[in-house]
Each structure stands twice: as structure tokens, then as C-alpha cells.
Structure 1
């Protein structure tokens, strides 16, 4: 497991991710609402979806050996090593608009994505 944050200079080149202030605030709020401020957002990539790969979001309290931990403010996000290969350089945002509220992945590795942004191809 590696613990990385936006303020650390020893992050592996190209294998970083970031949380916007909006995403960090929402993660912290959801963890508080769940009654466990130690919960972290887990972001995974799996095969499927209309574009080839799909994003998965869940909450977790465990950090596995192959996980990378990213933090901002009072929020933490966990990404497994395999998913990080497809997410390196991505920014996780929390958006509230006419379509609803959701976590949005701004992934520079995605060559294309579906209309709803839940899946992508490389």
C-alpha cells in the first residue's frame, strides 16, 4: 500500500490522482452520514459498460496491500494498483447539476466515453 496526497513530492511519476475540493467535501460528508468517518471512497475499474471499461464507486474501511491511498482535507480515496494503471492522472470531482449529483471521473487516459460518463475506452 502506498499513501499519497496532493502535497507529497515523492509520488510515483504519472501514478497520481486528485480529488477536487467538492469531491473531498462530499466523501467526508457521506462518511459522517454513515456514522464512520474512517470510511474511504473506493474507485475501481472493471471490464464492461458500453465503452469497454466501467467505473465502480463504493465505500470501504479496509486498505489492501495493492491499494494506493489518496487524500485531501478530511477525505480519503482508495484505488487498487490495476485500476490505477487506467486512472493515472485522473481527477475525481463531485458534480451537482440538472442531471443530478454524482462523482465524475476526469480521466486523461480515456480515448472515448459513453454519454453518461460511467464507462470509457482506452
Structure 2
């Protein structure tokens, strides 16, 4: 997974505001929503035992081990417009999304694709 500059800047701002210098953002996926899956994000002080650690543009993002194949090749962006500001995942493994944009359907990347990351 990689971050755009906008996403990295926003993660950095949020980590600094948290008051925990060692904090990082943990990203995963969970079952839920009308399309079947949803992205999850939480601040943590350290990665879980099997998390993947991504350091990009000066910030640390921890990828939940159960989500690695779903997030392979994903770009995380932060988008603002007149009515909202949010993290957006540009994920090549996404097969569909619900109308509200809160839920997605994902197919895990094939194991042979791991070498191409």
C-alpha cells in the first residue's frame, strides 16, 4: 500500500494531535455494509504481531495481517471537497461498491502477485 502526499500529511496531523509520538495508523478490512466489506482505521501505539509495516512519505501505516491480500496495490488518498473530507482507497482488488460509498466488495490478490508489490 502507498499513500498520496495528502493522505500522508493528514495522517501526520492526526498522529501529532493524538499526543502519542509513537502512534501509527492501522488499516484493515472487516465484513459489513451492504456490499460485504468495509475499510477500518484506528490509531495504535505499535503494530500487532503479524501486521505489515508501511513507511511512506514520513508516516507509518500498519496493515492488519488479515487485510494484506485485500490491500495489495492500494493507494490511500485524502480528499476534501465543499461538503466532506475523507480518506479514499483506490484499490485494484475492489470489484464493486454500494451506492453510499461506505461499503465495498473485494477479491483478495493472488499470492503470486505478492512478489510484484
TM-score by length of 1: 0.80
Structure 1 residues 64-103: aligned runs within 5 Å:
64-103=48-87
Unmatched tracts of structure 1, length 5 or more:
1-16
Structure 1 residues 1-122: aligned runs within 5 Å:
17-122=1-106
Two-structure CA RMSD over aligned residues (Å): 1.3
What are the superposed Cα offsets for residues 25-78 of structure 1, whole Å, 9 maximum, x if unpaired?
111111111112321111110111110011111111121221001112221111
- How many Å separate the matches in 1 of 2:80 and 2:21? 23
Q: Which runs of 4+ in 1 moved over 4 A?
A: none
Equivalences, count: 106
SS of equivalent to 1:111 = strand
Unmatched tracts of structure 2, length 5 or more:
107-117
TM-score by length of 2: 0.84
**Which structure's residues are more often helix, by fraction?**
2
- How many Å separate the matches in 2 of 1:60 and 1:52? 25
Aligned twin of 1:6 = none
